[in-house]
Amino acid sequence: MAIVINLDVELAKKKMSVTDLAAGIGLAVANVSILKNGRAKAVRFSTLDAICAVLGCQPGDILTYVPDEEH
Amino acid sequence: MSRSVLFTLRILLALLFAASLTAQVASGAIAGAAQAGPLSGILLALVVTGALCVEVVLVSVWMLVAMVQSEKIFDDRGSADTWVNTAIGALLAGAVVALGGVIAVVIVQLGEPDAAGWPLALLAATAAGVSAALALLVVVMRRLLHTAIQLRSELAEVI
């Protein structure tokens, strides 16, 4: 995956648990876990919007582009 | 889906099923009264097997309506597929039976012509055409169902 989600880093910075974030953005804890573990295939802008509002960060703080290593 | 529509549909399906059963039970009397000789036998066979196909289709539709009501119609485990395929099979079988009826009537007519023979052949041919057209329509709708299921499961992965 070229796009990496750094949600765990942001959560650690804000000292917030997955449960708190899920409650804050109105999502199921399971879905937030999927997002945090990088197993999500797609994210809604509305979800991204809510995460940024709750964590007080920019989308760029959560999403990172990592080029695939070419062998 | 509104409850009243589904409820009315179910009542209609039950009524049609009852009518179909009645036709099967009374088929002997109907065929005997309408015709004599070999045509009577053909009419009897057509009514009994045709009604059986109609009943299978009605049961399939009933099950699919139940799935719509419990919102399981788009589940990607393919349980809806079973009933859709059953309906397609029954409709195709109905078309084949009706076509067989047309051929049988034509053979009888060529042997010993009867005034009521050709209308009966026309009726069976119409039934065959309608049944085949419905089967193909359901095939198209099955394709649409598959597309809807695929879209639904893709959207479920969006967080």
Q: Which two tokens stand for residue A23?
A: 């409650």
Task: Collect all residues of chain B within an 8 Å Cβ-Cβ radius of residue A40.
Answer: 157, 159
Q: How far is A58 from chain B (nearest CA, A)?
A: 18
How confident is the model over B12-38, as pLDDT tens digits? 999 999 999 898 888 877 777 766 677
- At residue A28 the predicted structure's pLDDT band, cuts being 50, 70 and 90, is confident
Task: Collect all residues of chain B within an 8 Å Cβ-Cβ radius of residue A42.
Answer: 157-159
Which positions 54-73 of B are in contact with A (Cβ < 8 Å)? none
Residues composing chain B: 159
Q: Do B157 and A42 touch (CB under 8 A)?
A: yes
Q: Which amino acid is at B13?
A: L
Mean pLDDT is highest, among A16-20, B107-111, B131-135, for: B131-135
Q: Do A31 and B159 touch (CB under 8 A)?
A: yes
Q: Which pLDDT belongs to residue B35? A: 65
Distance CA B121, CA B105 (A): 6
Helix (H, G, I), strand (E, B) or coil at B89: helix
Distance CA B95, CA B89 (A): 10
Lowest-confidence pick of A37-41, A55-59, B71-75: B71-75
For the cut 80, the answer to whether the pLDDT of residue B57 exceeds it is yes
Mean pLDDT (chain B, rounded): 87
For the cut 60, the answer to whether the pLDDT of residue A71 exceeds it is no
- At residue A9 the predicted structure's pLDDT band, cuts being 50, 70 and 90, is confident
Q: Which two tokens stand for residue B131?
A: 């049944």
Buried b or exposed e, range A6-21, using 16+ CB within 10 angstroms: bbeebbeeeeeebeeb
Q: Name the interface residues of A facing B (CB cutoff 8 Å).
A: 27, 31, 34-35, 40-44, 47
Q: How far is B143 from chain A (nearest CA, A)?
A: 25
Distance CA B99, CA B125 (A): 6
Phi, psi at B74, each rounded to 5°: -100, 10
Phi, psi at B139, each rounded to 5°: -60, -45
- Whether the CA torsion B78, B79, B82, B87 is positive or negative: it is negative
For the cut 60, the answer to whether the pLDDT of residue B73 exceeds it is yes
